Structures are given as C-alpha cells and as structure tokens.
Structure 1
C-alpha cells in the first residue's frame, strides 16, 4: 500500500501512552500435537557441528563486546534504512542472554532470538521508525522486515518514547515480550497503514495511533487504544470493547478457531541448533508461551538443508528435499530456473531475512503437493519478466483430501509483481488443498517502484489475480491483497474463513473500458464464487485510489460479491475512497452505499 491523502486521528498526548506495568495471565485453549516423522538425512552432521548459515546471517553471543554488536547492527541498518527495492537481505540472531543494544529494523532485516522462550533473549530497544520517506513520518512503505522470539526491556534511559513499530504490510511482530508500551506509528502519529502481531505479550498499552488497519491474534496486553478504519482482534486477551460498527472500527472474535504458530530456530546450552514446531491449537486465547508450557516438536538442525544465496539453485534445493530433508533458506535473492517442489508430508521450510525466490523463467516459484502438515514461512515470491502461472501453488490440483488433523500452514507469505523489475504473473498464490491455514499474507502487484510502475504498469507488470482459493475449509488470518487487474481474491472453495482483509483496487487502470467485468464496472476485490454455500469473513476493508486515472471516471460497482446463501456471512465491512473521487458504488452485492462523501460501511451481511 502506498498512501497519499488519508484520514486519521490521534489519541491524546504521549503521556497518555504510559501505564504502570500490568501482569497478564497465560493463554488458554485446547491443543492437538502432531509430530513430523523422523528422517535420516544424508549426510548427517554430528549434533554439535558448527552450522553455517552463510554470510548474510549475523549471530551474536552475550559474551561479545556490546559496542561491537551495536556497531554491526548499525551498519546493517545504515544499508537497509531506505533500501526498499534493494537486493541485500539479513538476519540478526541473538543467542540467549542480555544485550544492552538498540535495534532499528530496516528493510529485509529479520531479528531473531534463539531461546526457547522470548524472555531468554533481552534487548534494550527494538523499533521501526517512520523517518525515511520524504522525512514525513510516513510509514506506509515500511515493508519486508520482522522480529520474533525476544524481549524488549525498553528502559527510560534509552528513549522517552514507547516501542515504535511504525509499519505497514509484510512486517510482522511474532512471539515478542515488550516490557512497556507500544505505538504502531511514529511518536507523532504520522501515516501508517496495516500490520500483523501474534503470540506477543505487551506489559503496557498498545496505541494504534494513525494505523488505518491492523490485525492482532493471540496476543496479551494491558490495554489497546485507537482505530481508524479496520482493526481486527482474534483470540486476544483484554481486547478493546467494540461498539456500533464502524464507530469504533473494532472487530473482536473471542477465540482463534485453529492455528499452529510459526516454527522458530533455537539453540541450547551446548550450542546445538534446532527448529521448534509448535503444536496445532484450537479455540485459543492469548499466547502459547506466557504462563504455560508450550507444546510442540523439536527438530534437530541435522534434519535441515541450509540453502545459501549464490550457492543454491532450485536443482540443489530439490535434491535436498528429495533426500527427506527440511529446508532453511538463508537471506538472499534466489534466481530460480525451475520450480521448488515440496512433496513430503510435514516438511518444514523456514525462510530467514525475507529470503526471496524469483521465478526467472515463467514457471511457478514453488509448488506444494497435496500432503499433510507442510509448514512454510518467511518467503517473498518475486515475479520474473516472463509470466508465471502462479508464484506459489499449494496442491497442484483439487483432490478433495482432508488435512483437518494436520493442515498445511503458511506464515509470512509475500508475493510481489513489479516494483524492482517488470515482473509478470497470472496469479500470485493458488491454494487447491483443503484445510490450509494462512497467517500473514501480503500479495502485491506493485503500485510504485524503481521503474515507475504507477504510470505505466497496466501492461508492464500485469497480473490477473492475487489469491485464488479452490480448496475447502481454508482459513486466513491477516490477508492483504492489492492492485491486481481483476479479482484481488477469488474464493471458489467451501467452508472458507477470513479474519481481517485489506485491499486496494488497482491504481493504474487506463480507462473504464479496460476494466469491465461483463457489463459491470470493475472487478470486486473479494469475489466468492456463486457455487459456494459456506463462507465467512470478519473485518473487511477495501480502498480505491485513481492515482493516474483521476478525472477519467473509473469506478467499481461492488467491493465484494458473494452468493446469497444461509452459510455465507460477512461481518464489519468498509470501503474508503483514498482520494475522495474514486468511486466504489456499493460495499457488497449492490448494498452499503458508495464511498464518495462518506465511507461505505456494512455491519453485517446478510
């Protein structure tokens, strides 16, 4: 998302952000444990062999000189501060211990604690600032970065402000303990638009400030304040109290119906690395780790192939997968001339440092077979200049096989068509398998970039659909899909569930004639096929902006279209004209009113 003229409001002086530390209780919910089968990798290193994560991973030990650690962190940040479309990728790993350092997280930077609990690694400060885009406190392009599995002490001597996590899409905070307050923008409430937080404990208050939309799942805090257009809380302890939609714009779902938290790296006292795979949980609130014993399975590093930039190809990665190995993809850009194929049940694919898979020859970047329990996380799928059918395909065809007991899980999955290069694809992500769980997606046909796609992109970086779901009982938490040329999301399977949806229609439609769905103006962002009999969605925000088409009267008839069936329901929907002129005539199925003059809004449908 690239925001221009937008509405937002602040919520009081900074002094109102500080609260006394509040103790939060542990999470609750049922757990189903599913373990990956044992494999015998060839060759298998000894348990305590030195692990080579490649040159783009920096590993810190509490015994190292603090000034040296800070210098290395600062050096990475200086490279990545405004490097939106650069090719450098980094992961900063911290072994258990206390680090009196300040971590400013720039583009393509992944901050990782290596303990079994977030409290095993403590840093002084962890933050993302809105200080590079025209120096305007604008965070609407703060993408592609993340932090996980550590605690933030945040002493007053470091900064007078709360922890700043001023981000938009593709910048998740997972499994973090903040020992204080958090603000989701600059301290002065500059623009910010979209974000994701899960499995996190915040001792104080979290203030969304200017955040126009935000998704929170299985998180605990003392209090939440704020909201502009679309704020969704699922399985959160102590959520804000919703009122009459859209004032305030708060959607609360008491429990998370089904989720498995993202796998993560750990190291023990003997220096042995492993990957912890959390258990599948149902009907939960709060975190997996605070005040409770976390269930799951630990996989030794010997069961993983560690791929490295400029060394590995699709061929070497596929050969390792064929030997029964799991996969760690270290930071870098991987130019693929073939498709990476995940065929073994329970395979774990762990991307570090926003590892980027570019489909250079018009093939899919990755295909996942219709098998149980695959877990894929932390990858950016980039379209090449030859069009691909899909960048990520989950289940190569619709089989109807149930994976309810051990679903395929996808975390922090990003797709990009354009921006750095004139990429092309038909579809970003296609899901054919049943019971897939998606957790933090941003699928983006670029609206800006190094080669001026905003003014010429309609033919330079074409892409038809963002997400196509053909499987049944697919669940999405935190779904953002933007700027594709037809449906942003096309849902053909039954039993689908979406918790938070954020979408912008394309900015660069050349004229209305080029954007007609039969006799109807434009393509709805969210289309549920007429054959679907069961589907539900909570907290849906869809936005329009005629960046290069202002004055050309390009309009959209419906933001959402869905069949009128007893099993199909939508809760808390909103449309917004970002420029005040681009028209969405109706929110859903010719109801809800237009977004010109005032926001279109529907509390529930039907």
Structure 2
C-alpha cells in the first residue's frame, strides 16, 4: 500500500466499527492513540530512531508512546509511530530468539505490518499479527518486549487502546528538544563548538590527576559530532561518555589518554577512571596512530571504537589489571607490562603481550597460544554465556536524552553494535528517571524508587542515613562520573528485593566510620526466585574500605539473588591512603555469594582480612579472578584459619556441588616476615567443581603461597622468581 493511500483511523472510528468496546474518548487529537499493556499497566514505546523493539515500559504516555491507527481496508489495522513516522512490523526475518518481535522501522504497511484487533470480554483487545497468525504479547520475561508468538490470549496478550494516557506525566518530564536535563555542575556537556573546549578538558584533568582520594567527581559528556585536534587526558574519578546511539556518532580525532600516576611510569595506582560509547582516532597519541591507556583496577572501558592502536602501559612502566568490553580496536592491542587483563565481547586487528593472567571471553580473534606457556598465558572462552551490556545515556534524534538498556544476550561473541547497527534493547526516556544530586537524602531517593522511577546518580558524594531500597522489577540504577555512596551511621548502602531484571551500574560504595555489616546486598537473605529469563546485572561497581578515611564493614558485597550477573567489579580494602591499617580499616570478606547460578566476569578482590571470596551457591561461574591477599597480617599466629595457615583467597564452601572458574591469579605481598598462606584457593573435590588456568605469585621478599589450589601446585618463589600454575583441577 503506497504511503499517500493510507488514512489514519481515530480510535472512535474503531469503536464505531465494533472492534474496540467502551473507551472514553477525547475530542482533542483523536487520531493519536496509545497502547497500554495489561501485563504491567505500562504504555508501549517506539523510539525515534526505529532501531529498537517496541517495549511496554513507559509509566506515562508522551511522544514515544503515540501511534496513528491506520485502516488497511481489509479488516486489519497498522500502527504508525508518530515519533518516527515508521510502521510497526512483526519482523519474521529476525533470528531466534528475536523472531516476531515488534519494531517500528517500516515506511510502508505490508503484510508484516498488519494486525487484526480482537475484542476481549473484559473490554481489552488482543492484536493478531497477519505475519504469522500469532497474538502479540508484552512478554515480561523479556522485560516487556512486544513479540508476536502466542497461540492464545491471556493477560500478557491483552492491551488497552485509548486516545489519551490514563496516568499523568511524571514530575520530571523529558527535556524539550535540544535542552539537556539538569545534571548539576559536575556534569560537563560539550560539543565540537564549545568555546575553549581544550581548556575545559585540561582544567578537569589538572584537578583530577592528583586527586587520588579527594571528593571531586566529574563526567564529561560528548554530544554527537567530530572533535578535531582534541586531547582528552583522563584523571581520577573522571568518566568520558559519548552521547550517540552508536559509538561512531561521537568521534574524537586527537587523543584519549591515561597517564601513569606514580613516578617511573608506574600506573599501578591508576584507578577509578573510564571512557564509554565513542570513537577515537589517536592522531595526537604517542605515535604510530596509538593511544596510551596506562591503567590498573576499576577502569571501565566499554563500547569504544579505537580507530588505530592502543597500548596499556606507559613507556614500559608497571601496570596491573584492566577491562575491555564491547570494544573494537581497528589495529593492535599491546598489553605490554599488564600483569592481568580481561577482555569480554571485544574485537581487534591483533593482540600482543602476556604476563600472568590474560582472559578472553566472547572474543572472536583472541591471540594464539594457551596457558600456561610463558608469553602465552591466555585463557580463551569462545562465547559469553549470558550478558546484558551496561546501559548508556544518549541523545535521541529529536534531541531528547534517554538511557538505552541493552537486551540480554546468550552465547555471544564480538561487539553488540557491529555493522552500524543499534544494540538491541529498550530505551527509557530520561523523564522516567529521578536525577539524583549530592545532598539528596536517602528518604527522598527511596520515595522516587518506590514510585516506580528509575535512578540516575550524578557525580559527587552521597552521605546516606538509611539503605537505598530497589524493590521494583526492571529498575535501572545508573551512575555517571563515579558517584560515591557512604553511610557513617552503620547502615547498609543499598539493598534490593528478590525481583526480576534489576540493573545497577556505575556506582562507588565507600565504607563509613561505623561498621554496617554489608555495603550492597543483592536480594534478601534466603532469596529463592528463579531469574534466569530476566536476571539482575551489576556493572562497574567499585567498593572501598579505607583510603580516603578510616572505614569498616564485615562484607562489601553480598549476592543472595539467583542468576545474578556481575560484569566488572573491584572490591578493595585499601593498602595505602588515610585510615589504613589492620585495626583501622577492618573487613573480613570482599564478596559473599549465596545465590545459585551466579555468573561473574572480571572479579577483582583485594586485601580483605579473611577469605576474599566465599561462594556458597551452586552453579556459579567466574571468568577472570584477580586477587592480592592482605599485605598487613601482623603475625602468622594471628592470621590462621580453620584449615591452616592463612585464609584462602577464593573459598568454595564444602557443601557446593557445582561451580566453575577460568583464569585466576592470586598474589601475596606480605609486609611482615614469616607469614605463609597454605592455599590460594580452597574447594571441595568434586567432578562438578572445576577450575581452569590458575597462577599464584609472591611479590616482595616475605613469605609466599604454599599451594595454588587445595594441596595442588608448588610454592611460590619470592620476588616473582617462581610463579606456579595449575591448568585444571580436579
């Protein structure tokens, strides 16, 4: 049917035709209709770009939730999204499991864009797709994605079509076109035409590069466009974010750089900085079209396109531990002195370098060679079993700010945004977020969460007097610019309910002066629900006990909810800074896992006084583990566990019957003499409890680690003179 032959039906015409029963009509804008899903009472949204599946996720109807209902003259109707002018299609060309999902990306209404409206006895309607004869479902197991794949009509297949939204707009509506939300003074929104842009960037860096433990936090947001001859050095607590819907919509033709913080080109304290969602041509880099990214822990580098090469240290100096995910490097990655590294769902022209522990998960062109060969200590897992990429802030084509929440991927390899396409998922308008700023109270934030709002933390420090409670399914909690949560009155910082689909990303949890038991608790103790179809995912969460000031907590992170995914975390009991000492920043464990089928990528845990990790749940999977045990036990007699000398870094409980981990490194750096750790890893001997590619290292002159896992593996040599490995256990 040609575009100029179509005519939009007002909803009252559908009523008159007997297709829809008993609707309250408005005389205003009668041709604009909304679809509200009975499954969750949310409105159906279509994005302006037409690259995302329709989802029933909007609590209120605004521009993205308006559709023209078009009469096709054959007993069917089509839905045209007003935000884009595109028709909604039940696309059968999509590969499984996406076949039949609804997407507004067609300029004409052919068979796949036609639907029969089927009245239901309760006043709702069902929509049967002409593409396959199946009913459209707002599938809550997919986060509310609309898909034509049901043979019968039940609650999820029922909709209300109305002329006007049935709920009032939120109190924090989306901005008008071109107007950014109020993110506060620590968020710097820039464009290629920003006056003195290089001076703005340099001013932030000059303040942040020496700011190892200070309170300042900054987010630099790059609006779409090309930034020629721009140098972006990145210091502490600074996050640089592109605001395109695709990384190549923001292009820095110049340099992005992390410089070593310590003298002697030493980057082992280059923490808490990151870059996401833009492309870089390193024409002003260190030469040979190469950018320098000298980093260690807590450095999220995500959804980036390096149009050249990247080197992960500075002038051959030390560097220790880092993270790539959803990254494309056109040229070579040189890991140089990096002691350990994890790359997930990334691609490059080539990779060179290996030290102790390099892990590649879902990387289609990982380097040749394999663990434990020196110079080839590579652990390679061909596919990432399950992941939902981190949400990202972007500007839609109409100038509105929104957050893209990627869809769950299973058995994936490579980047999520290849071939110029959008990452599958749902888009949440910024008006559905409460934008938190330093000074907001926990009570005020909890009120917004309870009302069904998502939460976006802007940079700064938030002193909380009660836990933040994330109880509603599919809530997104997103931080930009390393927002830091702290409680000084003995309260946990955040607790979640045992519900589906939570996303908690980009937050910094700082232990307070009074012991609080736990900093973040995912699911209550005893959580039992199965969340396999819509798991909770934690991205880039960083925990600190001491360093900025004395702090204490028994457990930093407790994961009780089944099927939780942790995608990059660093849990750190500080070994330097203020408030550091055996009695000044006490903390027993970094991570405690009680949930079943919990999956973790990029698990960094260091210096806790007992086990760094205690794993009690079944079905756990860990891809990359890096851990230094505490530097500061005062004596061997004061640091003995029930199983012998010292506390194993990684402890799988005796009752666990299934567990698997790949690519583990455990290191000792004892400051006092005469101290040994009998076993870096302890686990029950069971054919379904399996470990692959482990190494232990003694740095410094004192003590060491006697065995790698249980009583297997030789003793370390001091000053890294001998680094024993175990390839498989049992």
> What's 2:18 paired with?
none
1:445 partnered with 2:562:
no
Selected match of 2:641 from 517, 521, 532: 517
1:194 partnered with 2:321:
yes
* Greater relative CO, 1 or 2 (CA 8 Å, sep 6+): 1
1:479 partnered with 2:600:
no
Change over 3 Å in CA distance of 1:151–1:543 after alignment to 2: same
1:527 partnered with 2:635:
no
Alpha-carbon offset, residue 574 of structure 1: 0.2
Comparing 151-160 and 411-420, the one that deviates more: 151-160
CA displacement, residues 342-372 of structure 1 (integer Å, 9 cap, x when unaligned): 0000000010101100121111100011110
Contact kept in structure 1, 2:143 and 2:534, CA below 8 Å: no
User: Following the alignment from structure 2 to structure 1, what is the Cα–Cα distance between the partners of residues 531 and 397?
Assistant: 37
For normalisation by structure 1, the TM-score amounts to: 0.91
Q: Secondary structure at the match of 2:707?
A: strand
Unaligned stretches of 5+ residues in structure 1: 1-27
Unaligned stretches of 5+ residues in structure 2: 1-93, 99-140, 146-164
Change over 3 Å in CA distance of 1:220–1:81 after alignment to 2: same
Contact kept in structure 2, 1:556 and 1:585, CA below 8 Å: yes
1:601 partnered with 2:601:
no
Selected match of 2:623 from 499, 512, 515: 499
Alpha-carbon offset, residue 128 of structure 1: 3.6
> What's 2:460 paired with?
332
> What's 1:241 paired with?
368
User: Following the alignment from structure 1 to structure 2, what is the Cα–Cα distance between the partners of residues 519 and 147?
Assistant: 43
Q: Secondary structure at the match of 1:388?
A: coil
> What's 1:300 paired with?
429
Selected match of 1:183 from 311, 320, 334: 311
Contact kept in structure 2, 1:128 and 1:167, CA below 8 Å: no
Contact kept in structure 2, 1:360 and 1:386, CA below 8 Å: yes
Alpha-carbon offset, residue 110 of structure 1: 0.6
Selected match of 2:680 from 556, 559, 575: 559
User: Following the alignment from structure 2 to structure 1, what is the Cα–Cα distance between the partners of residues 345 and 219?
Assistant: 25
> What's 1:5 paired with?
none
The alignment of Structure 1 onto Structure 2 pairs a total of residues equal to 567
Q: Secondary structure at the match of 1:459?
A: coil
Selected match of 2:214 from 78, 82, 86: 86
> What's 2:268 paired with?
140
User: Following the alignment from structure 1 to structure 2, what is the Cα–Cα distance between the partners of residues 490 and 128?
Assistant: 36
1:34 partnered with 2:142:
yes
Comparing 163-172 and 589-598, the one that deviates more: 589-598
User: Following the alignment from structure 1 to structure 2, what is the Cα–Cα distance between the partners of residues 153 and 40?
Assistant: 46
Pairs within 5 Å for 1:270-349 = 270-291=398-419, 292-310=421-439, 312-349=440-477
Alpha-carbon offset, residue 273 of structure 1: 0.4
Alpha-carbon offset, residue 64 of structure 1: 2.4
1:409 partnered with 2:530:
no
User: Following the alignment from structure 1 to structure 2, what is the Cα–Cα distance between the partners of residues 599 and 29?
Assistant: 46
User: Following the alignment from structure 1 to structure 2, what is the Cα–Cα distance between the partners of residues 508 and 325?
Assistant: 44
User: Following the alignment from structure 1 to structure 2, what is the Cα–Cα distance between the partners of residues 302 and 36?
Assistant: 19
> What's 1:3 paired with?
none
Q: Secondary structure at the match of 2:386?
A: strand
Comparing 563-572 and 510-519, the one that deviates more: 510-519
> What's 2:563 paired with?
435
User: Following the alignment from structure 2 to structure 1, what is the Cα–Cα distance between the partners of residues 187 and 269?
Assistant: 24
Change over 3 Å in CA distance of 1:486–1:125 after alignment to 2: farther
CA displacement, residues 33-89 of structure 1 (integer Å, 9 cap, x when unaligned): 833599976414255264100110000123323xx1111000000000121101000
> What's 1:56 paired with?
186
Change over 3 Å in CA distance of 1:119–1:557 after alignment to 2: same
Q: Secondary structure at the match of 2:456?
A: strand
Contact kept in structure 1, 2:242 and 2:277, CA below 8 Å: yes
Change over 3 Å in CA distance of 1:126–1:260 after alignment to 2: farther
CA displacement, residues 95-136 of structure 1 (integer Å, 9 cap, x when unaligned): 110112110010000100000000000112443434431x21
Change over 3 Å in CA distance of 1:517–1:298 after alignment to 2: same
Contact kept in structure 2, 1:232 and 1:539, CA below 8 Å: yes
Alpha-carbon offset, residue 270 of structure 1: 2.8
Contact kept in structure 2, 1:40 and 1:303, CA below 8 Å: no
Alpha-carbon offset, residue 431 of structure 1: 0.2
Q: Secondary structure at the match of 2:443?
A: helix
CA displacement, residues 290-331 of structure 1 (integer Å, 9 cap, x when unaligned): 114421000001100000113x12111101111110000000
> What's 1:122 paired with?
251
Selected match of 1:204 from 319, 331, 336: 331
CA RMSD of aligned residues (A): 1.8
CA displacement, residues 396-425 of structure 1 (integer Å, 9 cap, x when unaligned): 112221100000000001100000110000
CA displacement, residues 252-284 of structure 1 (integer Å, 9 cap, x when unaligned): 000000000000001023320000000000001
For normalisation by structure 2, the TM-score amounts to: 0.76
> What's 1:371 paired with?
499
Change over 3 Å in CA distance of 1:279–1:482 after alignment to 2: same
Q: Secondary structure at the match of 2:591?
A: strand
User: Following the alignment from structure 2 to structure 1, what is the Cα–Cα distance between the partners of residues 472 and 694?
Assistant: 39
